[in-house]
Structure 1
Amino acid sequence: MPAGDPRDLVVLLDARRRPAGTAPREAVHGLDTPLHLAFSCWLLDADGRVLMTRRALGKRSWPGVWTNSFCGHPRPDEALVDAVRRHGRAELGLEVEAITALLPDFAYRAVDASGVVENEFCPVFVARTTHQPEPHPDEVAELAWVEVDDLRTALAAAPWALSPWLRDQAAALDTAQAWSRLAVDADRTETHPPDAVVPNPRPRTSPSPATQESDR
């Protein structure tokens, strides 16, 4: 679905994280971003390394920041795992496998240097791939495969150089003592988290056109 297509919608959520409407993806992020549904994915290769990506310099929020593998928004009635697959193809040009819930209750709010707000209920997944990335230049400027221990060292030494959602996800993994969940077994079957399909919410007035375009 091309950018700007009126069917390219994200799911807005109420304070209890229930679907409360939709908004065009390109207009949902701004100075007063409503709570909405997203996902984030940590992608592993056959050696257990994590794919780190640097956001394209043309992004409206957090341009050029290094972050975890990829993230995005499910469309209404799209299963979260299907959204993970779709974004893996669109952003990185690869297929993902063994998609497993890592932090199913993760949510965060952050403000970048320009004032653009992220405000997301954002379940986090871990997945694996046997393909080499072919990143879309509008999404990814650079990438690197890193050992998990090296990533943890970078988070401790220079957290300011990494995306706020990556920092918050790492902190949640610390709290849950769950870093071992990043080990994806080659024979692991795909696991769908609860409520993997988003119900079709009732339409609601979209955010003001003054909000800035961004897909994170």
Structure 2
Amino acid sequence: MTTEEHVVLVDRDGHALGTAPKTAVHRHDTPLHLAFSSYVFDQDGRVLLTRRADHKITWPGVWTNSCCGHPLPGEALDHAVLRRLSYELGLSVARADLMLPTFAYRAAMTNGIVEHELCPVYRVTVGSPVTPNPDEVGQTRWMPWKEFVDGVQNGLLAVSPWCREQVPLLTGLGADPTMWQPAPAADLPPAARL
């Protein structure tokens, strides 16, 4: 018997309020909940872009950053990143570096479904090939970071709303993603500090 996955609900200050079934969260009045975004880089500094599977509830078929997801109740965010990278992209990764500890966003699709997430952002570096899970990922593409940033900022590359908001914040950390200094885990919202 499979138990339904739950997400952690949070208040505006990032304190946990409880949990809710993941399937019941993304709707027209989506409550603020804990999530993560990650950007995977290869040894050449290229970023891995993914196109969300066409059957996803939120932003189906849209290009975005490498991997997004939700921690399970009681799960450390960096562990959730590694778990989802393995599941969605077949990547075995030793560590995820925290880059934007307090990123949050709210975005509504044309059909009214809303994403509303407190979504710390992580950087991951890999040296192994990607094996996308078709249940999650429709397509992948490696792109030089500067080309990706220029495409997003000039409106030439259509990406998810959260990715579009994250790019200028990440570029504020420096031009070279391999040189970004990780943020301390103590800067995470309270619900994400385990």
Contact persistence 2:49–2:66 (CA under 8 A)? yes
Of 106, 119, 126, the residue aligned with 1:109 is: 106
Q: Which residue of 2 aligns with 1:178?
A: 173
Alignment of 1:8-87 (within 5 A): 8-87=5-84
Q: Which moved more, 1:15-24 or 1:152-161?
A: 152-161
Q: Find the aligned partners of 2:115 and 2:54 in 1 and give their Cα distance.
A: 18
1:198 deviation in Å? 3.9
Aligned letter for 1:193?
A
Aligned letter for 2:100?
L
1:199 deviation in Å? 7.0
Of 84, 90, 94, the residue aligned with 2:87 is: 90
Higher relative contact order (CA 8 A, sep 6+): 1
The CA deviation string for residues 136-174 of structure 1, in whole angstroms up to 9 with x for no partner, is 101110110100111012112326711100010012234
Contact persistence 1:10–1:75 (CA under 8 A)? yes
Secondary structure in structure 1 of the residue aligned to 2:139: strand
**Which 4+ residue blocks in structure 1 deviate beyond 6 angstroms?**
none
How many residue pairs match? The answer is 192
The CA deviation string for residues 156-206 of structure 1, in whole angstroms up to 9 with x for no partner, is 2326711100010012234xx214462169xx9x98622587479xxxxxx
Q: Which residue of 2 aligns with 1:144?
A: 141
Change (3 A) 1:116 1:34: same
Q: Find the aligned partners of 1:141 and 1:147 in 2 and give their Cα distance.
A: 20
Q: Which moved more, 1:80-89 or 1:157-166?
A: 157-166
Aligned letter for 1:43?
V
Aligned letter for 1:162?
V
Secondary structure in structure 2 of the residue aligned to 1:183: helix
CA-based RMSD? 2.4
Secondary structure in structure 2 of the residue aligned to 1:74: coil
Q: Which residue of 2 aligns with 1:120?
A: 117
Secondary structure in structure 2 of the residue aligned to 1:161: coil
Q: Where in structure 2 are there 5+ consecutive unaligned residues? A: none
Q: Which residue of 1 aligns with 2:185?
A: 193
Q: Find the aligned partners of 2:193 and 2:173 in 1 and give their Cα distance.
A: 29
1:135 deviation in Å? 0.7
Q: Find the aligned partners of 2:156 and 2:7 in 1 and give their Cα distance.
A: 29
Q: Which residue of 2 aligns with 1:203?
A: none
Q: Where in structure 1 are there 5+ consecutive unaligned residues? A: 201-216
Q: Find the aligned partners of 2:117 and 2:192 in 1 and give their Cα distance.
A: 15
1:37 deviation in Å? 0.2
Q: Which residue of 2 aligns with 1:169?
A: 166
